[in-house]
Amino acid sequence: MSLLRLRAALGGPARLGGIPWSVLRNYSSASAKEKARRSPVCERTELLEVLKARVKQLQAGNGPEVTVNKQELSLLGNDKLQDPLRSEVAPGPTEEPPAPWGREKSLSRPSSWAEKLKKEMYIRQLKVERKLSLAASQPTLENQVNAKPKGKVKAKSKTKKSPKIPKTKVAPAWNQSQAGSRSTYTHGKLRVATGKEGVKAQGPQRVQEEKDNNQQKILQQTIQSNLQCFLFLQQPEEAERFLLLYHSSPSKRRLLDVNAYDIVMRSWARKGRVRRVSRIFSLMESVGMRPSLGSFAAALEGLGRSQASPKAVWRCLQQLKNNGFHVDELFQKCLFEEDEKEMVLRAIRIVQPDYQLPPSPSPQTSKSSLLQDFYSKEKTVSYPKLDFSVQELQKRFQQQLEMELNSTVTIESVESTKPLTTQTLKARKLLGTLRSQWHSSILQALQKSKHSMSKLRVAPGYNTLYPYLCLLPDEEYVAIMMQILNTLSPQGESLAVLARELGSKVYNRYITQQKLRSQQLEKVQAVYEGYIHLLAKDSQPDEYLPREYWEKLVAESGFGPSLNLRDCSWPYMLLMRLGMHLLELLVQAVKVPRNILNPRLEPKLIPVLYHIYSFHSSWQVGLIKPHPIFSQIVSDAAETLLTFNSSAIPMLCPPVPWTSPHFGAYILNDTKLMRFVDGAIQHQLLLEQCPPVNLHPVLDALNLLGNCAWKVNQPVLDIIISIFNDKGNEKLDIPPPVSEAPKPPVAPGNSSTWNKSHKHELLLYKKKTAEMHSLRMDALYKLSIANYVRDKVFWFPHNMDFRGRTYPCPPYFNHLGNDVTRAILLFAEGRPLGPKGLDWLKIHLVNLTGLKKKNALQERLEYANEIMEEILDSADHPLTGRKWWMNTDEPWQALACCMEIAKASRSPDPAAYISHFPVHQDGSCNGLQHYAALGRDLIGAISVNLMPCSVPQDVYSAVAQQVEEFRRKDAEQGVKIARVLQGFVSRKVVKQTVMTVVYGVTRYGGRLQMEKRLKEINEFPEEYLWEASHYLVKQVFNGIKEMFSATRDIQHWLTESAKLIAQSGRTVEWVTPLGLPIVQPYYRSRPTVLNCSMQHLSVKSFNSNQKPDTVKQKNAFPPNFIHSLDSTHMMLTALHCLRQGLTFVSVHDCYWTHALTVDIMNQICRQQFVALHSEKILQDLSEFMLEKYCSPGRENRALWQKKLMEQLSNVPKTGDFNLKEVMDSTYFFS
């Protein structure tokens, strides 16, 4: 029987799906033979005839339609007839179930007959659906004694009632004339054709579609993540029930796409329930949805599991072909979990016993002209080896895996060395008992709320969070909530932040669970085992890049789950809702006896967390604050254990290489290739659409940066910790503990009698302590993590922001940190200093001091030699000697460098001394360098060191001079403010503004910066602050305009282009020379209100009709574009350094390598800069945008479009700077 059903489901209608529309349209051309063979076709043609007649009738008569006769009622899929009309005007979207009112928009001829037809069609549809879902629910009743279908029927009858006047009016007439012997599928058949036709006619209307898609995307995502939960929980019945809730309502059905049906099919297939799978299949076809490759994969999986008959499999495969797919595609394009792949294969082999898996596609290589050398196989050198054996790396991998499996790590804080007082011990004990009480009360609350939710489930509340509360064991939710409680600062935290944190923690653990469940982890483990042979010192050298090697291993492994997970991200709103629910539970459940610190009070439980509003002029922010009693106990207990997410700790083994936007970095922790603001989905979509080969250079660069091994500079760490535990030192940037804060102002009497000035003082004091607390905690985290890994070698996996700038993933301790953190870090790999290494160390030291900025390298070196005594003293007696290092710009790095120089110079042969010390080379005003190179500005190029000079040029001084010149002239002219400013125009005053001009600072922001600088000068008369800063910022802008004329043109061109693009309703997109697609994520998003019982939360969501924020799009484009260029330059340098065997890491425009290889790195850096800017960057950008935003071939262009086209084609002219000069410029990066 099951076979029969399957045949009915898979065979009949879908075969029709393959029939091109032309056949359907010219129904008369359908051959008699075919009619005879397939009765549904006959039926269809009849219907079409009827329909045609009806159209004529309506067209001719145009009279009011009062009665609905039987014939009309049997119109099936009459929307079809409108299609010829529609396809001329606006083709429908690809695979969307066409809903009548959705299409209304696209119908440009609103003649009344068409409207009537539509109405009829709508009613018709309703009817069919009801029948369908009734039919669907029946087998459920047959097969299992199950109460659920009842609920569904109820829900359905409710949706039927949904108020639409025409429907309710005509419905009775309908019921009377139900007696048609129509097959429910016929309707669907025609729909399938619609879908196909849509595919063909796709094109000019894409913009509109994209918008609509974006809107629905979030809702679709919510439905899918709900279904995915059921799949994860292995509850196919629930999944189907949920699907039917949407399926049975025409308005809601719009939100279902193929994926939703696929998920349900998969959850049945996993249980081997072929009949159920086939039913979903038929459901899908009944609404004219075209099955996807995934649908067939699920069907075949089910067939494979149930050892189906060859006939069934054969039909299914036939069907697949009819839909335009190929069997091989199943294995090439689908993602599999667990043993799905094997099952599909088994099914196929039932009919084709000798079927072999298709060979994996041969790896492509990037064709970017900038990387021809890099990817050309002839020049390949083996990937640099780490100083570890395969076995050692394997062990480290196990450690890392264990850590990630635990999801959190608890480490000793560096404060642990303090002696314990009895009070501390008492408080710790108290906290311990309280925690266990809270733990059980939270657990209770959670279970209670789950219980009440599970009861509610029957009602048609689709938005239930219940499945999301079942994904993890209860204990895990409690642990997450306890973690939040433990890390809450005494000042409290905003509701939104806490909710997001809770939500994403649950999500992350769910993802981990899913990786375990789908057996993805085992496969990663297996592949990683092979992968480390590329890196280990004791294995064969392989001429592969990490990504290539990984891909090769994956391809070889063949079976098993796919490494990429099926996309299962949760929409942001859902994350917040889940978070809010957990937060509410937390606030309700956690209580403390109020007499715990003051036994005289009567014992009574009071909440630990309270909800309070903070007011900011017109809006209010909800905060969660811990009760002072709680804060008191926590501070008394002075606990020395810190708990982090495992992703906050650097990795203990080389990161998993990035191979796709979805896969890389940590073993289990979910990491995004591109960081983005919460809820923004554009970047991810763009990356997915991008051909994988285009991303290779970027992925390879990230892998390279992540593969750099690090270790801790222990002597420096020890000194820092000693100061940290001894009251800190603000001058050295070691934040003192809050106990060192100035005492609070003493006021007479109780707080209510204080006057205003007292209150103000108190406010300042509170602010200061809050600030100190957060600084202290930040340093504590950094140092504790550093201390935790002090004996280990570790890695920072990298990802990037939307402009391609790279960042290490672990948030607290990494090389992007401040002076203190950077001073703690050393390369794990050591290299001899070589002949010039010691000199480079010395120059590096002088660079760190901030002295001798305007001197040549040789002079810096000489200076270092002069002060050698101070350097050695600093190294030997950092805290007791003359403390020369303390008075430098970057004291801690300077100290570390002093120590390295001391060790090196005292070694018998400094050139052979093995150094782990990173030497930095900084771009001098890197943004302006890129601008100057883009515009070939001669004067500008000189001032930012693109031209070879004997001494470094300083653009800030140059601008300051220029401004001083303007001022002098104005003063002579008698401008008062120019006179006031006499003697105040300096490098320091203009520096920040010049630096940020490149990144799009406005006059407004520039003035504020100036005002700040002028305020710092005590002698400057305060009353002129506003006027002077206003004047200065104007002159700085003028000065820059003078010096960088082409730069300003380019900036202007970029800004104007972005403005016009944004005004046309699109976001600004471009592609970096390395092929990374970029989109600016600035939208005028309307906040959505999330109704929660504790508080209504306004959440910025990205779903509602995303119009670009013109101002942001426009202002941010120039800086973002320049950032995308500097990141490209960095990646190019990184990749080419790899080919030369260099160790390379970067902090944006500051490049690090060993002292031995500084010269080579500098050379590569310059080469790549020249290579990058030799590309026609602006022309390419212009062409790309013209193609993207001014679609060619359309005759009647709107005015704005002409304007946009003109703007985009009008690339600014460049100056006559010879780019090749950069090659010899010593101070380009120094």
Partner 1 sequence: MLAGRAPPGAAGCRRLLAAALAAGLRPLLCGPPCWAAARRAVGQWPSPGLRIPEAAEAERLVQQLQRVQRARLPLRRFIACPQLARTVQRCLQGGASPSPQPVLLECAPGPGILTRTLLNAGVKVVALESNSAFLPNLQSLENSLDGQLKVIYGDFFRLDPLGTGTVKPPAVCSDKLFETMGVAAVPWRADVPVKIFGILPQRRERNMLWRLLFALYECSSIYRYGRVELNIFVSEKEYKVLTAKPGEVKAYQALTVLWQVGCEIELLHKEPWSSFATNLKSGGLAVPKSRWLPNDHLCLVRLTPQENLFTGGLKPTNSSTFIFMVKQCLAKPKSRLTDRLKSWSLDNSGKLLRELEIPKNAETRNLYPEDYRRLFEALQNSSVFTETWFHDEVLESIRNINL
| Residue nearer to partner 1 on the CB measure, 462 or 613 | 613
Return the closest-CA partner of residue 263 out of 245, 283, 239.
239
Residue with tokens 């109020």: 594
Q: Which stretch binds partner 1 (CB under 8 A): 229-237, 241-249, 695-703, 757-765?
A: 757-765
CB 1072 within 8 A of CB 1132: no
Angle at 58 between CA 54 and CA 62, to 5 degrees: 165
Does 787 sit near partner 1 (CB under 8 A)? no
State which of residues 377, 451, 743, 756 lies at the interface with partner 1 (CB under 8 A): 756
CB 615 within 8 A of CB 593: no
Q: Provide, rounded to whole angstroms, the least separation between the CB of residue 616 and partner 1.
A: 5
Is there a catalytic annotation at residue 156?
Answer: no
Q: Provide, rounded to whole angstroms, the least separation between the CB of residue 524 and partner 1.
A: 46
* Interface with partner 1 in residues 763-782 (CB under 8 A): 763, 766
Q: Provide, rounded to whole angstroms, the least separation between the CB of residue 751 and partner 1.
A: 6
Structure tokens at 465: 């969070």
| Residue nearer to partner 1 on the CB measure, 272 or 745 | 745
Say what the alpha-carbon torsion angle 754, 758, 764, 769 is, to the nearest 10 degrees.
-60
State which of residues 18, 166, 363, 607 lies at the interface with partner 1 (CB under 8 A): 607
Does 355 sit near partner 1 (CB under 8 A)? no
Structure tokens at 1065: 């309703």
Q: Provide, rounded to whole angstroms, the least separation between the CB of residue 633 and partner 1.
A: 15
| Residue nearer to partner 1 on the CB measure, 358 or 628 | 628
| Residue nearer to partner 1 on the CB measure, 361 or 603 | 603
Write the DSSP string, 1004-1073: HHHHHHHHHHHHHSTTS-GGGHHHHHHHHHHHHHHHHHHH-HHHHHHHHHHHHHHHHHHHTT---EEE-T
Return the closest-CA partner of residue 894 out of 935, 843, 936.
843
State which of residues 364, 614, 722, 1179 lies at the interface with partner 1 (CB under 8 A): 614
Structure tokens at 861: 């070196």
| Residue nearer to partner 1 on the CB measure, 243 or 589 | 589
| Residue nearer to partner 1 on the CB measure, 433 or 751 | 751
Write the DSSP string, 541-553: -----HHHHHHHH
Does 598 sit near partner 1 (CB under 8 A)? no
| Residue nearer to partner 1 on the CB measure, 462 or 610 | 610
| Residue nearer to partner 1 on the CB measure, 762 or 1178 | 762
| Residue nearer to partner 1 on the CB measure, 688 or 1027 | 1027
CB 383 within 8 A of CB 531: no
Does 753 sit near partner 1 (CB under 8 A)? yes
Catalytic residue among 83, 257, 839, 1149, which? 1149
Write the DSSP string, 414-476: GGGGSPPPHHHHHHHHHHHHHHHHHHHHHHHHHHHHHHHHHHHTTSS-TT--GGGGTSS-HHH
Does 613 sit near partner 1 (CB under 8 A)? yes
Residue with tokens 């004339």: 177
Write the DSSP string, 600-625: TSPP-EEESEEEEEEEETTEEEEEEE
Write the DSSP string, 36-102: HH-HHHHHHHHHHHHHHHHHHHHHHH--------HHHHT--STHHHHHHHHHHH-PPPSSPPPPHHH
Size of the site for partner 1 (CB under 8 A): 34
Does 1200 sit near partner 1 (CB under 8 A)? no
Q: Provide, rounded to whole angstroms, the least separation between the CB of residue 599 and partner 1.
A: 15
State which of residues 625, 782, 822, 831 lies at the interface with partner 1 (CB under 8 A): 625
| Residue nearer to partner 1 on the CB measure, 760 or 969 | 760
CB 735 within 8 A of CB 726: no
Does 1148 sit near partner 1 (CB under 8 A)? no
Does 745 sit near partner 1 (CB under 8 A)? no
State which of residues 175, 181, 362, 618 lies at the interface with partner 1 (CB under 8 A): 618
Does 1019 sit near partner 1 (CB under 8 A)? no
Consecutive H or E run containing 409: strand 408-412
Does 606 sit near partner 1 (CB under 8 A)? yes
Q: Provide, rounded to whole angstroms, the least separation between the CB of residue 753 and partner 1.
A: 5
Catalytic residue among 542, 678, 778, 922, which? 922
What lies within 8 Å, CB to CB, of 737 at 6+ separation is 727, 728, 772, 776
Distance of CA 7 to CAs 23, 313, 319, Å? 24, 10, 10
* Interface with partner 1 in residues 558-597 (CB under 8 A): 594
Catalytic residue among 523, 625, 991, 1114, which? 991
Distance of CA 438 to CAs 442, 608, 629, Å? 6, 10, 15
The whole-angstrom separation of Cα 601 and Cα 77 is 76
State which of residues 422, 752, 880, 973 lies at the interface with partner 1 (CB under 8 A): 752
Residue-wise burial string across 428-438, b where 16 or more C-beta atoms lie within 10 A, e elsewhere? bebbeebeeeb
| Residue nearer to partner 1 on the CB measure, 458 or 1008 | 1008
Q: Which stretch binds partner 1 (CB under 8 A): 29-37, 172-180, 611-619, 868-876?
A: 611-619
Q: Are strands 806-808 and 408-412 parallel, antiparallel or unpaired?
A: unpaired
Q: Provide, rounded to whole angstroms, the least separation between the CB of residue 604 and partner 1.
A: 5
Does 1018 sit near partner 1 (CB under 8 A)? no
Is there a catalytic annotation at residue 922?
Answer: yes
Strand partners, 1069: 1079
Strand partners, 481: none
What lies within 8 Å, CB to CB, of 1086 at 6+ separation is 1104
Is there a catalytic annotation at residue 604?
Answer: no
Does 463 sit near partner 1 (CB under 8 A)? no
Does 612 sit near partner 1 (CB under 8 A)? yes
| Residue nearer to partner 1 on the CB measure, 618 or 973 | 618
Burial of 271 (0-12, 13-18, 19+ CB in 10 A): middle
The whole-angstrom separation of Cα 1164 and Cα 1146 is 14
Does 755 sit near partner 1 (CB under 8 A)? yes
Does 1023 sit near partner 1 (CB under 8 A)? yes
Does 973 sit near partner 1 (CB under 8 A)? no
Q: Directed axis angle between helix 987-997 and helix 1003-1016, to 10°? A: 160
State which of residues 161, 377, 451, 616 lies at the interface with partner 1 (CB under 8 A): 616
| Residue nearer to partner 1 on the CB measure, 142 or 1023 | 1023
* Interface with partner 1 in residues 490-529 (CB under 8 A): 491
Q: Which stretch binds partner 1 (CB under 8 A): 180-188, 348-356, 1000-1008, 1021-1029?
A: 1021-1029
Q: Provide, rounded to whole angstroms, the least separation between the CB of residue 592 and partner 1.
A: 10
Q: Provide, rounded to whole angstroms, the least separation between the CB of residue 740 and partner 1.
A: 21
Q: Provide, rounded to whole angstroms, the least separation between the CB of residue 1045 and partner 1.
A: 32
Structure tokens at 245: 């809730």
For residues 1044 to 1083, the per-residue mask of contacts with partner 1, x marking binding by CB under 8 A and - elsewhere, is: ----------------------------------------
Residue with tokens 């960081």: 675
Does 1095 sit near partner 1 (CB under 8 A)? yes
CB hemisphere CA count around 665 (13 angstroms): 28
Consecutive H or E run containing 1090: strand 1087-1091
Does 759 sit near partner 1 (CB under 8 A)? yes
Q: List interacting residues with partner 1 (CB under 8 A).
A: 491, 594, 604, 606-607, 610-618, 620, 623, 625, 627-628, 751-756, 759-760, 762-763, 766, 1022-1023, 1025, 1095
Enumerate the active-site residues.
922, 991, 1149
